[in-house]
Structure 1
Amino acid sequence: MTQTPDASRFAHVTDWVFDLDNTLYPHHTNLFSQIDVRMTAYVSELLTLSREDARALQKELYREHGTTLNGLMKRYGIDPDDFLMKVHDIDYSWLVPDPVLGAAIHQLPGRRFIFTNGDRTHAERAARQLGILDHFDDIFDIVAADLTPKPSHATYEKFTTLHSVIGTNAVMFEDIARNLAVPKKMGMTTVLVVPNNFEPTFSEIWESDPDHEDDVDYVTDDLAGFLGRIVADR
């Protein structure tokens, strides 16, 4: 399910911006599911709830506030550092090094960034396990965003201002369509990354959102292949 990139749409790109979870590594690795389980456990322990009630609340906070962390901070005033440390205490060995993806990212002309709602430590561990960490110029994490997650417009403004990114010269890769709305308004080319062999019935991690179809320029279930074609056509 990969659309062939039009070389002319990427010829001007000088800044390549990538989400991390379920984007730079594929959904089927189930890495994010470990984080998801730990977030449920955190909510359960914090509020003395059953796992089922904690998970329901966790998803409610996510829907209303963009991330579970943001919701917990606003409703319950939790310590974000404690939350980030506990939910990212996971096994990264599930990630398989991806030399093909690494080579494609390395060949992209210009700067390359990881832009994540997770924290820097998580991003570094995941990217290092994939073998791609050294190919990035910087990581913009939830702490750099003052704990305000995508899709907040202010968070994208912080990122573009910090790194002097001009939207019309950038492309954003994301697995959640609504997180591409602001980049699209900024003039970025947008690419939605979906699970391999994506089925329309799947909606737990990848969030199909008809309201944001116009914010997506390309869809791919093979990020390495998509980038490889861009590099080959330049």
Structure 2
Amino acid sequence: MTNSFNILLVDVDRTLYPFECKVWDAIGEQIHLFIQKKLSMSNEEARSLRIALRDKYPTTLQGLHNEYGVDQDEYLQFVHDVDLATFIPPNPDLASIFASLPQRKVIFTNSTRFHANRVMDFFSIKPYFDDVIDVTMIDPYTKFEKEAFPIALELLGNPPPQECVMIDDEDQIICNAVSAGMQGILVNKDPQVNSNQHVQIPTINHIKEALEELSEKYSSLSQV
């Protein structure tokens, strides 16, 4: 049944590893440190600026780039340079899970190719992914904006969107994928974040069951 979908778009942060891991907290600290150094601010000033930029822009990076001319690549390389092994537990089953899935698999992330490759290397899953679509390739958008998804489809070679599945921990991102004609699987333990009754799993290790459920759901809708 999983052959109903030909392309899996897989998020990185808090999707390939558990939501409760503190990787994103560490990246947040790197963001504050970057702002401090780049703009010669105190820690308190940097934190206040980040809050202000996040209220005004989809990401801190967009705000820093638009208002302070910060170089995108310099920022992304700096903030994602964290020790993954300190925060992420091993997942020895993940490689065999992805190896068993027949679909084309592509990382689609709001972070960088550098960071995505590091996470894939950590889990030994890079051989099972054809490519990475990172945040620089959908600029000036992120996955939190609907405009990112037609760009991603074009980068994939314009496949039929209904054959693509976005796998992510953010409900808004799944909604944006669905609005572009794709299917979606939400990877999140909290059922309250699922605002649109998406197929939902607690961890990425349940992806095969989720694809079966999604395939059955899609087949039943197609027959209506």
- Map of 1:17 onto structure 2: 9
What secondary structure sits across from 2:135 in the alignment? coil
Residue 163 of structure 1 and its aligned partner are, at CA, apart by: 0.9
Selected match of 1:218 from 199, 202, 221: 199
Question: Which portions of structure 1, spanning 4 or more consecutive aligned residues, are displaced by more than 6 angstroms?
Answer: 231-234
- Answering whether residue 83 of structure 2 is matched by residue 102 of structure 1, we say no
Q: Aligned equivalents of 1:22 and 1:47: distance in 2?
A: 29
Identity %: 27
Structure 2 matches for 1:174-193, cutoff 5 A?
174-193=168-187
Residue 173 of structure 1 and its aligned partner are, at CA, apart by: 1.0
Residue 53 of structure 1 and its aligned partner are, at CA, apart by: 3.6
Judge which range, 174-183 or 144-153, deviates more: 144-153
- Answering whether residue 28 of structure 2 is matched by residue 36 of structure 1, we say yes
Q: What are the superposed Cα offsets for residues 88-111 of structure 1, whole Å, 9 maximum, x if unpaired?
A: 221122333423222222211220
> Counterpart amino acid of 2:54?
Y
1:113 to 1:63, Cα distance in 2 relative to 1, 3 A: farther
Residue 21 of structure 1 and its aligned partner are, at CA, apart by: 0.6
Aligned residues: 213
What secondary structure sits across from 1:27 in the alignment? coil
> Counterpart amino acid of 1:179?
I
Residue 63 of structure 1 and its aligned partner are, at CA, apart by: 4.2
Residue 172 of structure 1 and its aligned partner are, at CA, apart by: 0.8
1:162 to 1:229, Cα distance in 2 relative to 1, 3 A: closer
Mark the runs of 5 or more structure 1 residues left unpaired by the alignment: 1-6, 201-207
Q: Aligned equivalents of 2:48 and 2:202: distance in 1?
A: 29
- Map of 1:140 onto structure 2: 133
Query: What TM-score, normalized by structure 1, do the two folds share?
Result: 0.80
Judge which range, 222-231 or 114-123, deviates more: 222-231
Structure 2 matches for 1:107-126, cutoff 5 A?
107-126=100-119
Q: Is the 8 A contact 2:3 2:103 kept in 1?
A: no
1:148 to 1:47, Cα distance in 2 relative to 1, 3 A: same
Q: What are the superposed Cα offsets for residues 107-151 of structure 1, whole Å, 9 maximum, x if unpaired?
A: 112200110111101100111101111111110001222353222
Query: What TM-score, normalized by structure 2, do the two folds share?
Result: 0.84
1:21 to 1:137, Cα distance in 2 relative to 1, 3 A: same
Q: Aligned equivalents of 2:56 and 2:4: distance in 1?
A: 36
- Answering whether residue 82 of structure 2 is matched by residue 90 of structure 1, we say yes
Mark the runs of 5 or more structure 2 residues left unpaired by the alignment: 216-224
